[in-house]
Amino acid sequence: MEEVVKRFLDYVKIDTQSDETKQSTPTTDKQYNFAQKLAEELKEIGLKKVTLDQNGYLMATLAANTDQEIPTIGFIAHLDTSPDYSGKNINPKIITNYNGNNILLNAENNIELTPAKFPELKKYTSQDLIVTNGTTLLGADDKAGIAEIITAIHYLIKHPEIKHGKIKICFTPDEEVGRGADHFDVKKFGAEFAFTIDGGEIGELEYENFNAASAEIKIKGINVHPGTAKDKMVNSMLIASKLINSLPSKEIPEHTEKYEGFYHLLKIDGEVENTYLKYIIRDFSEENFAKRKTYLKDIVGKLNQEYGAGTVELKLKDQYYNMREKIETKMEIIELAKKAMEKANLKPKLKPIRGGTDGARLSFMGLPTPNLFTGGHNFHGKFEFIPIESMLKSVEVIVNIAQLNAEKN
């Protein structure tokens, strides 16, 4: 317990936020600096072939300790934390033997983590929790994954009686801005399958995710003095409001769950002359995903018919696809993870990811990569927390996967 907690607390204090406005890889130098620190740590605990490329991808190998022919397995986590909330000067707190009541995160601003707002807290009564100080995110997404992978690998090194095949690990940059797999070298990595350790609450096992697209919309208006505007002014913001109201009002993140898709307005910036909208489109079904994109195109087409060609410009870009298509032909990987959880006295919680991970793109790049829990909750904000027992179970599951992978071959 001390080892995984110490690692985690050390890692989260290092600011590694990615930056979607930058085109470099990694998008921030601080991610690369963190990778350099981790590279030295991996060498110290005994890993081989530790490499850090110019794009910030850190890879390492734990050699097999048996002569059996065993498929090479990989474990992957990401270096960056989300730009959605401050990741600078993180000062986590440990709540020992949580009593089930409100947790005061920040007395100065009276910020509390409460079971009323976050009822899942009650599941962890009598456990130790790591929380924020109410001014930053925590960084369990995904520094918990990094700490858990390294701790599990170190455990295997210290316990050679546990037989395992070759194990590869990789820590990637820029996952939070959707670029974590952009420069991932699948051939160099050399695993036959892998797991991202990037999920949420204890027991989660995910091999389905959204199909995803981004939509950037530029609307051109005509600005003249409002006193003489009749039949001349074209207000781009009002056209934008028509577009927004033409989309299904209930098909937004606030009103959807499970396998329901949505349109999500991320940004709006407007004035009479020009308005800019940024949407993301999400759906699990390939058919419904295509319908959503077509529906948006049709709205744009109708607005251009009404206001003139070129008034509304739409730029659609597919981002990633549902990895189920690639995983369901290799369900032995999922069965392996389920058995590893059961061996750790956990009940696997198979659920779809209402988002995406590096594993989604890697699966389409030839590396089947479902996602496993880190134990964290409420990622990307000041109410993020992680139970220490969940972190320990993640370490145990990783060790079990390595051991069971050897036993089944």
**Burial category of 40 from C-beta neighbours within 10 Å (exposed 0-12, middle 13-18, buried 19 and up):** exposed
Does residue 273 carry a catalytic annotation? no
Does residue 185 carry a catalytic annotation? no
SS3 letters across the chain: CHHHHHHHHHHHCCCCECCCCCCCCCCCHHHHHHHHHHHHHHHHHCCEEEEECCCCCEEEEECCCCCCCCCCEEEEEECCECCCCCCCCCCCEEECCCCCCCEEEECCCCEEECCCCCHHHHHHCCCCEEECCCCCCCCHHHHHHHHHHHHHHHHHHHCCCCCCCCEEEEEECCHHHCCCCCCCCHHHHCCCEEEEEEECCCCEEECCECEEEEEEEEEECECCCHHHCCCCCECHHHHHHHHHHHCCCCCCHHHCCCCCCEEEEEEEEECCCEEEEEEEEEECCHHHHHHHHHHHHHHHHHHHHHHCCCCEEEEEEEEECCCHHHHCCCCHHHHHHHHHHHHCCCCCEECCECCCCHHHHHHHCCCCCCEEECCCECCCCCCCEEEHHHHHHHHHHHHHHHHHHHHCC
Catalytic residue among 175, 176, 198, 358: 175
Is the separation of the CB atoms in 375 and 140 below 8 Å? Answer: yes
Catalytic residue among 80, 141, 142, 283: 80
Is the separation of the CB atoms in 3 and 147 below 8 Å? Answer: no
C-alpha 194/C-alpha 327 separation (Å) is 11
**Backbone dihedral region of 368: left (phi > 0), alpha (psi from -120 to 50 degrees) or beta?**
beta
Interhelix angle for 29-45 vs 140-158, to 10°? 20
State yes or no: cis peptide before 198, omega within 30 of 0: no
Q: What amino acid positions are annotated as catalytic residues?
A: 80, 175
